[in-house]
Amino acid sequence: MTRTSKIFYLIFFSFTVIFIATLNMRPFPFVYLVKAVPIYSLAVLAFFNIAGLRGKLIGLGLVFSGVGDIVLELEGDSLFATGLGAFLVAHLFYIAAFTKSIQFKGPRGMVAATIMVYGCLIGFVMIPNLGDMLVPVVAYLLVIVAMGVLAALSGVNHWLVVAGACLFIASDSLIAVNRFIAPVPNSSILIMVTYYPAQLLITTGASLHGFGSEIWIG
């Protein structure tokens, strides 16, 4: 790992801890920047550490994730659909990065099938409660499930990428349940302690070569 990479990982971990530790103090000046800095530090790592087009696509996914974080922190509910749209675009970039060497077999296929079943179940539970948010939320659900499925099926993905995709789905599920179904105790901290590691695992996993995970993930 280069010295520059170590610096950006340090920035990621430092601001992640600061934001999670101050969740109950919001709003405070520039909170939206504190929230987004970890994601933009990962974007820099993706652009420089992940080779070729794949690195650019994941980096752009992180850039749009940061936009979503800022929008949601600035205005919360009033711009929820806008923030959702930014994350939807982020997942489209991740999908584009995960379309190489698709394998419908072994543990990869089982993980992908589990994600699809989970997506159907949570959609079935949420749809009656979505109201005028039906179309954007269902569209987002389809895209994030597709991201998770392709993360699992892509033969070049390290298992860390798959774990990150699953954590991302878990984090967004917490948001959906808390917003549309019933309040989740300690939702803010649960969402962030799954979201930041999700992005970290996707970025770090995509930068690994040799894919030593193949024993585990097929």
Q: What percent of the chain has pLDDT over 70?
A: 94
Q: What is the largest CA-CA distance in the chain?
A: 51
The predicted structure's pLDDT at residue 1 = 78
Residue 104's SS3 state is coil
Local confidence band at 77 (pLDDT 50, 70, 90 cut-offs): low
Establish how many alpha carbons lie within 13 A of residue 135's alpha carbon, considering only the half-sphere containing its beta carbon.
1
Q: Say yes or no to pLDDT of 213 above 70.
A: no
User: Alpha-carbon distance 164 to 123, whole Å?
Assistant: 21
Angle at 93 between CA 92 and CA 97, to 5 degrees: 115
Q: Decide: 211 and 158 in contact? Cβ < 8 Å.
A: yes
Give the count of beta carbons closer than 10 Å to the beta carbon of residue 80: 17
The predicted structure's pLDDT at residue 79 = 82
One-letter amino acid at 159 equals W
Give the count of beta carbons closer than 10 Å to the beta carbon of residue 78: 9
Please compute the mean of the pLDDT values over residues 77-89 and round it to a whole number: 89
Q: Name which residue leads in pLDDT, 101 or 71.
A: 71
Which candidate, 1, 3, 213, 2, places its Cα nearest to that of 108?
213
User: Alpha-carbon distance 179 to 183, whole Å?
Assistant: 7
Per the structure, the count of domains in the chain is 1
Q: Decide: 169 and 199 in contact? Cβ < 8 Å.
A: no
Q: In this predicted model, what pLDDT tens digit does every residue of 18-61 receive, in sequence order?
A: 999 999 988 888 999 999 999 999 999 999 999 899 999 999 99
- Sorted by sequence, the CB contacts under 8 Å of residue 141 that are 6+ apart come out as 119, 122, 123, 126, 176
* pTM (2 d.p.): 0.92
Please give the residue range of the domain that contains residue 200: 3-217
User: Alpha-carbon distance 171 to 154, whole Å?
Assistant: 22
Local confidence band at 62 (pLDDT 50, 70, 90 cut-offs): very high
Establish how many alpha carbons lie within 13 A of residue 170's alpha carbon, considering only the half-sphere containing its beta carbon.
18
Local confidence band at 76 (pLDDT 50, 70, 90 cut-offs): low
Please compute the mean of the pLDDT values over residues 118-136 and round it to a whole number: 94
For helices 31-49 and 3-21, the axis angle rounded to 10 degrees is 150
